[in-house]
């Protein structure tokens, strides 16, 4: 029987070092391989596996480390009372354009903010677009955004994040009052006509060929927010107008410190 557990990841050895004696683990494996525990007497075999780390047992011998810098001290430097600005909407609705414009506007006014649009190129590059991977993608983004909050920075996330349950989980993680759900709303036909990355065209072609790309709005659902803090209509307003709407909301609620 194969046990459901993993050993440590190995480095990049020469191919000839892969051999092992019966029942013993080889000393190294090519990068990307893991060992699966084998029953007693069986030969260890390297196998490339894909796993969702969510089911793996959490560490237990850990203690929360409390810092010695108060949030107010950081906020005096960054000039924001931070909240996660969570932009959600269909591909092509204008999330990324709004996030970049908003980041530029905040920083130019002396408020420290960061747009984390490229997280799939690094931290989350091992995730695909299945429902499970999408959920894990959002969970990791929520955890990173929470760290930015602790640092006194205004994190801006612009992700489709299609499922209400995942967005609700991110809200619970961050905390009520520090999570601002911003629905960047545009009809599917408008988003598809923009298609800045050619993704809708690819999705339609795959659909016509009887193949699925799990592309939101085409062959994967999008669940719009029911009670977002901000509901923006990007089909009838310019990026500059949308940025001003968000800035006004943040200023009215005291998130921009030292601003008039």
Given a contact cutoff of 8 angstroms between Cβ atoms, the answer to whether 230 and 248 are in contact is no
- pLDDT value at residue 123: 83
Dist. CA 138–CA 118, nearest whole Å: 13
One pLDDT digit (tens) per residue for the chain, 260 residues: 333 333 333 333 333 333 444 444 444 433 333 333 334 344 444 433 344 444 455 677 777 777 788 888 898 999 999 999 999 999 999 999 999 999 999 999 999 898 777 788 888 889 888 888 888 988 899 999 999 999 999 999 999 999 999 999 999 999 988 999 999 999 999 999 999 889 999 999 998 998 878 889 998 899 999 999 999 999 999 999 999 999 999 999 999 998 76
Residues 6+ apart with CB under 8 A from 209: none
- pLDDT value at residue 6: 37
- pLDDT value at residue 109: 92
- pLDDT value at residue 260: 60
Residues 6+ apart with CB under 8 A from 47: 33, 34, 36
Dist. CA 218–CA 236, nearest whole Å: 23
Given a contact cutoff of 8 angstroms between Cβ atoms, the answer to whether 44 and 38 are in contact is yes
- pLDDT value at residue 211: 86
Could you tell me the pTM of the whole model?
0.74
Nearest in space to 14 (alpha carbons), one of 24, 32, 26, 28? 28
Q: Where are the domains of the chain?
A: 1-49, 71-252
- Catalytic residue annotation: 161
Helix (H) or strand (E) segment spanning residue 47: strand 46-47
In this structure, CATH architecture of domain 71-252: 3-Layer(aba) Sandwich (3.40)
Dist. CA 236–CA 167, nearest whole Å: 25
- pLDDT value at residue 2: 37
- pLDDT value at residue 180: 97
Dist. CA 58–CA 236, nearest whole Å: 47
Helices 131-150 & 164-174 angle (0-180, nearest 10)? 20
């Amino acid at each position: 029987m194969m046990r459901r557990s993993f050993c440590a990841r190995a480095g990049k050895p020469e191919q000839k070092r892969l051999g092992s004696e019966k029942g013993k683990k080889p000393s190294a494996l090519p990068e990307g391989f893991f060992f699966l525990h084998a029953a007693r007497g069986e030969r260890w075999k390297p196998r490339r596996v894909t796993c969702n780390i969510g089911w793996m047992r959490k560490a237990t011998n850990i203690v929360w480390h409390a810092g010695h810098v108060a949030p107010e001290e950081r906020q005096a430097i960054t000039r924001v009372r931070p909240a996660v600005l969570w932009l959600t909407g269909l591909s092509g609705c204008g999330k990324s354009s709004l996030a970049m414009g908003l980041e530029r506007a905040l920083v130019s006014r002396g408020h420290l903010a960061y747009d984390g649009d490229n997280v799939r190129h690094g931290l989350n590059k091992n995730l695909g677009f299945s429902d499970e991977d999408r959920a894990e993608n959002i969970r990791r983004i929520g955890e990173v955004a929470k760290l930015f909050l602790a640092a006194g920075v205004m994190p801006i996330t612009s992700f489709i994040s299609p499922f209400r349950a995942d967005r609700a989980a991110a809200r619970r993680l961050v905390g009520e009052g520090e999570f601002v759900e911003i629905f960047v709303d545009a009809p599917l036909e408008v988003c598809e006509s923009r298609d800045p990355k050619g993704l809708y065209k690819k999705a339609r072609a795959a659909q016509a060929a009887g193949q699925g790309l799990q592309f939101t709005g085409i062959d994967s659902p999008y669940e719009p927010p029911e009670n977002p803090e901000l509901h923006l209509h990007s089909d009838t307003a310019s990026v500059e107008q949308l940025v001003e709407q968000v800035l006004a909301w943040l200023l009215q609620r005291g998130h921009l410190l030292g601003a008039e």
